[in-house]
With several copies, the nearest count.
Chain A
Amino acid sequence: MPEDIIDLIRESVIQGRVTKDDEGLDEDMVGQPGMSELIEEALISGVDAQDIINQGLTAAMKIVGKRFEAEEYYIPDMLASAEAVGVAMEILEPELTRSGVKPKGKIIIATVKGDLHDIGKNIVSILLRGAGYIVKDLGNDIETKDIVKAVKKEKPEFLGLSALLTSTMVNMEDTIKALTESGLRDKVKIVIGGAPVSEEYAESIGADGYGADGFQAVAVVEALNSGTTGNK
């Protein structure tokens, strides 16, 4: 029974379905239980939350990642899967807290001042939630002082900054300087990304990591979290 439902949870991640009304990647999935229904059912049946996470969600996301690398899955597929994981984690959170399991970490994310588009940042948010992080999205066109204020208040383990234009990229450097001036720089790992950003730029302004795309961004955060030094 528990294995059956964990199979279904895995399939729900792979299909990227949150509720029973969602379409999956395969046709004719509508009507079958989605992630919300399955997790509720699993908890009622007494399945261990950590098992759901390890054998269900994490295992499934690995399959999704492989399909993405093989170019069978596109970003919208990946996002749907990550969203399903995010929903599962939300439902599981009280259970995890109850059993003393610590969340993986908190992340503040923002697109810097001057930039209006936020597609890349939104994707990273969804993927990080899918990876089990608590994500606080400040939005786009965010003033440096507001970013500093948020870091001070929320005390996140990570800060993600995004810029789309060469002309706004400089605001990343400003933000890091402002954090240093406020004495907060050492309390948070900073990961940056966006079209004009490069590995070299990240190093030059003293960021802790750089993600060329959303998936790399997640990988970098995971690496920094486990103590290795990102993609350097």
Chain B
Amino acid sequence: MIRKGLAGGSYKPLTPEAISKINETALRIIEEIGCEVNSDIALASMEKAGAIVNKKQRRVRLSPQKALELISKAPSEITLCGQDEKHDIHLGGNRVYTGTGGTALYIYEPHTDQRRQATLDDLKRIARLVDNLDNIHLFMLPTYPTELPLEQVDVNRFFAGLDNTTKHIMGGVYTHDGVQQVIRMAKIVAGSAEALRQRPLISMIACSISPFIIDGEYGDVMVAIAKSGVPLVCPAEPLCGATSPVTLAGNLVVQTVDSLMGVMLAQAVNPGTPVIFGSVATSTDLRDLKYIAGSVEMGLLNAAGAQMAQFYKLPFYATGGMTDSKALDAQSGYESSITGLLCALAGANFIHDAAGLMEFALTACYEKYVIDNEILGMVMRAVEGIRVDDETLAFDIIKEVGPGGNFVTAKHTRRFMRQEHYQPSLSDRNSREVWEARGKKTTWEMASEKVRTILDSHTGGLPDTVRSRILSEIKGIVD
């Protein structure tokens, strides 16, 4: 039983008044402070769409009316398609999906307690692993192949994804040319440009820089993606006390403004283009200004971000489910589950980074994907909530059983036991005696066995004709 796209929203960290205040403050910033746009084409697009532009300062401001008008052009529902339709994801409302994320530079290997540089081969193997983990719904390219030159990175990352899982592929992009090549590749996989428009098999991410900067290169990339019609994610990454106020409310304001800037730019370039409001907001280690990936505040910020996205009627890309631990210890368990659960209960549409990441998102780990798959299964069961109707209240069965009776033999138990209760795929529920007899395996050791089983048995890959067409038409792919 796979749980995905279930409605969250039973948890609301922000009151309606708080949402209004954040919106008002964000609109006031967009009008009074504005954003520095260092891409000429982005600046021109915004001006053409009615923004107030100070060219010398490269500053773009918008009246609240204009801002809301541009935002309202963005679709509130977006389908991200998998090569296999069963993996389609319908973002919008308060429906919840999960996925991987990155971009990690290292791989942690728990057997040796060491980390090493991530390679293209790791990316392929992680794609195969995630293809088999049901509670991870989308494959966002999680690692950076450190052995490749920059100009080969984009095509190789997306090819690794498309060739090793039939789940939707989302990814960051590094060069303008890479964007074009990757879209060309996706068209070959989809069958045609029109087929890709109908069923977007890939989506791309281009960040703004908090506070209030659209970078020259990233701005160009954003415009290129928006023009292509491929779904675009516009995340902002404000860090409390570093690139945003240290207060959570202040951080939410900066995240809202920065992500809305991307949304508005995309609509200015190509009205109606699918764009996802995104947050990578988190706290900062104020001892050394490190990005913190496992704080409870990150969960609060991204849960509240989901409410802001629902307010603007935009699909939401949240960040949660990571840990700052360097090992697969208890900390890795509680940090990943707390942030993931908060986002999901609030109805965050797509929780990215929700699997496989450790130590400030610098490092990916095979075993952690399996562990997080279990956490996400529990989280999605929490999202599903409690069904209350005559059948589940079971008055008649209760009456039949009566005081002191039991329900083990009731047909009602057998009818509902598999659907009402999450079936663990990793957690150990054996008695200590049995657990000891089976070798005293801790969570990561059991995860390791599962990694091996999956990778040894995985089959699949792009059809031969598609594969060879890509290899002949797209340059730089390392097969």
The answer to whether A and B touch directly, with their CB atoms under 8 angstroms apart, is yes
Residues of A participating in the B interface, judged by any CB pair closer than 8 Å: 16, 22-23, 25, 68, 71, 74-77, 79-80, 83, 116-120, 122-123, 126, 213
How far is B410's CA from A204's CA once the two chains are assembled, in angstroms?
36
Task: Report the minimal beta-carbon distance from B438 to chain A, rounded to whole angstroms.
Answer: 13
Q: Given A68, A76, A117, which contacts B414 in the complex, CB threshold below 8 Å?
A: A76
- Answer whether A79 and B415 are a contact pair too, CB < 8 Å, given A116-B213, A116-B215: no
7 A-B pairs (CB sep. < 8 Å): A74-B287, A75-B286, A75-B288, A75-B289, A80-B411, A116-B404, A118-B406
**Contact between chains at A80 and B414 (CB < 8 Å):** yes
Q: Does B472 interact with chain A (Cβ within 8 Å)?
A: no
Residues of B participating in the A interface, judged by any CB pair closer than 8 Å: 209, 213, 215, 241-243, 286-289, 404, 406, 408-411, 413-415, 417
**Contact between chains at A74 and B409 (CB < 8 Å):** no
Chain B residues lying within 8 Å of A71, measured Cβ to Cβ, are 287
Chain A residues lying within 8 Å of B413, measured Cβ to Cβ, are 76
- Answer whether A23 and B289 are a contact pair too, CB < 8 Å, given A76-B241, A116-B404: no
* Smallest CB gap from B241: residue in A: A76
Chain A residues lying within 8 Å of B242, measured Cβ to Cβ, are 119
**Contact between chains at B409 and A126 (CB < 8 Å):** yes
18 extra interface residue pairs, beta carbon distance < 8 Å, beyond A75-B408, A213-B288? A23-B411, A23-B414, A23-B415, A71-B287, A74-B286, A74-B287, A75-B287, A80-B414, A83-B409, A116-B213, A116-B404, A117-B404, A119-B242, A119-B243, A119-B289, A119-B406, A119-B408, A122-B409
How far is B414's CA from A80's CA once the two chains are assembled, in angstroms?
9
Task: Report the minimal beta-carbon distance from A11 to chain B, rounded to whole angstroms.
Answer: 16
Chain B residues lying within 8 Å of A80, measured Cβ to Cβ, are 411, 414
**Contact between chains at A22 and B411 (CB < 8 Å):** yes
How far is B109's CA from A122's CA once the two chains are assembled, in angstroms?
37
Chain B residues lying within 8 Å of A126, measured Cβ to Cβ, are 409
**Contact between chains at A79 and B409 (CB < 8 Å):** yes
**Contact between chains at A16 and B289 (CB < 8 Å):** no
Chain A residues lying within 8 Å of B410, measured Cβ to Cβ, are 76
Chain B residues lying within 8 Å of A68, measured Cβ to Cβ, are 287
* Smallest CB gap from A119: residue in B: B406
Q: Given B209, B215, B408, B414, which contacts A123 in the complex, CB threshold below 8 Å?
A: B408
How far is B410's CA from A16's CA once the two chains are assembled, in angstroms?
12
How far is B397's CA from A76's CA once the two chains are assembled, in angstroms?
15
* Smallest CB gap from B416: residue in A: A76
How far is B408's CA from A83's CA once the two chains are assembled, in angstroms?
13
How far is B241's CA from A71's CA once the two chains are assembled, in angstroms?
17
* Smallest CB gap from B404: residue in A: A116
Chain A residues lying within 8 Å of B415, measured Cβ to Cβ, are 23
Chain B residues lying within 8 Å of A120, measured Cβ to Cβ, are 289
Task: Report the minimal beta-carbon distance from A109 to chain B, rounded to whole angstroms.
Answer: 15
Chain A residues lying within 8 Å of B241, measured Cβ to Cβ, are 76
**Contact between chains at B417 and A74 (CB < 8 Å):** yes
Task: Report the minimal beta-carbon distance from A9 to chain B, rounded to whole angstroms.
Answer: 20
How far is B417's CA from A201's CA once the two chains are assembled, in angstroms?
34
Task: Report the minimal beta-carbon distance from A143 to chain B, rounded to whole angstroms.
Answer: 16
Task: Report the minimal beta-carbon distance from B394 to chain A, rounded to whole angstroms.
Answer: 14
Most buried by B among A16, A76, A83, A120: A76
Q: Given B213, B406, B414, which contacts A77 in the complex, CB threshold below 8 Å?
A: B414
Most buried by A among B215, B408, B410, B415: B408
How far is B209's CA from A119's CA once the two chains are assembled, in angstroms?
14
Chain B residues lying within 8 Å of A23, measured Cβ to Cβ, are 411, 414-415
How far is B286's CA from A74's CA once the two chains are assembled, in angstroms?
5
**Contact between chains at B406 and A122 (CB < 8 Å):** yes
How far is B409's CA from A123's CA once the two chains are assembled, in angstroms?
8
**Contact between chains at A122 and B408 (CB < 8 Å):** yes
How far is B213's CA from A118's CA once the two chains are assembled, in angstroms?
14
Q: Given A76, A116, A123, which contacts B417 in the complex, CB threshold below 8 Å?
A: A76
Chain A residues lying within 8 Å of B287, measured Cβ to Cβ, are 68, 71, 74-75
How far is B411's CA from A83's CA once the two chains are assembled, in angstroms?
12
Most buried by B among A71, A75, A122: A75
* Smallest CB gap from A215: residue in B: B288
Chain A residues lying within 8 Å of B213, measured Cβ to Cβ, are 116
**Contact between chains at B209 and A116 (CB < 8 Å):** yes
Chain A residues lying within 8 Å of B288, measured Cβ to Cβ, are 75, 213
Task: Report the minimal beta-carbon distance from A138 to chain B, rounded to whole angstroms.
Answer: 16
**Contact between chains at B408 and A76 (CB < 8 Å):** yes
How far is B414's CA from A79's CA once the two chains are assembled, in angstroms?
10
How far is B288's CA from A68's CA once the two chains are assembled, in angstroms?
11
* Smallest CB gap from A25: residue in B: B414
Task: Report the minimal beta-carbon distance from A139 to chain B, rounded to whole angstroms.
Answer: 11
* Smallest CB gap from A76: residue in B: B414
Task: Report the minimal beta-carbon distance from B426 to chain A, rounded to whole angstroms.
Answer: 13
* Smallest CB gap from B418: residue in A: A74
**Contact between chains at B209 and A79 (CB < 8 Å):** no
Task: Report the minimal beta-carbon distance from B176 to chain A, rounded to whole angstroms.
Answer: 15
How far is B411's CA from A80's CA once the two chains are assembled, in angstroms?
8
Task: Report the minimal beta-carbon distance from A151 to chain B, rounded to whole angstroms.
Answer: 25
Task: Report the minimal beta-carbon distance from B70 to chain A, rounded to whole angstroms.
Answer: 25
How far is B209's CA from A22's CA once the two chains are assembled, in angstroms?
31
- Answer whether A76 and B406 are a contact pair too, CB < 8 Å, given A120-B289, A213-B288: no
Most buried by B among A22, A80, A119: A119
Chain A residues lying within 8 Å of B408, measured Cβ to Cβ, are 75-76, 79, 119, 122-123
Chain A residues lying within 8 Å of B404, measured Cβ to Cβ, are 116-117
How far is B409's CA from A117's CA once the two chains are assembled, in angstroms?
14
Task: Report the minimal beta-carbon distance from A169 to chain B, rounded to whole angstroms.
Answer: 14
**Contact between chains at A76 and B409 (CB < 8 Å):** yes
Task: Report the minimal beta-carbon distance from B258 to chain A, rounded to whole angstroms.
Answer: 14
How far is B408's CA from A126's CA once the two chains are assembled, in angstroms?
11
Q: Which 10 A-B pairs have the closest CB atoms?
A: A74-B286, A76-B414, A119-B406, A76-B413, A75-B286, A213-B288, A79-B409, A119-B408, A74-B287, A80-B414
How far is B209's CA from A122's CA once the two chains are assembled, in angstroms?
18
Task: Report the minimal beta-carbon distance from B347 to chain A, rounded to whole angstroms.
Answer: 30
How far is B241's CA from A213's CA once the two chains are assembled, in angstroms?
17
* Smallest CB gap from A68: residue in B: B287
- Answer whether A16 and B414 are a contact pair too, CB < 8 Å, given A76-B286, A116-B404: yes
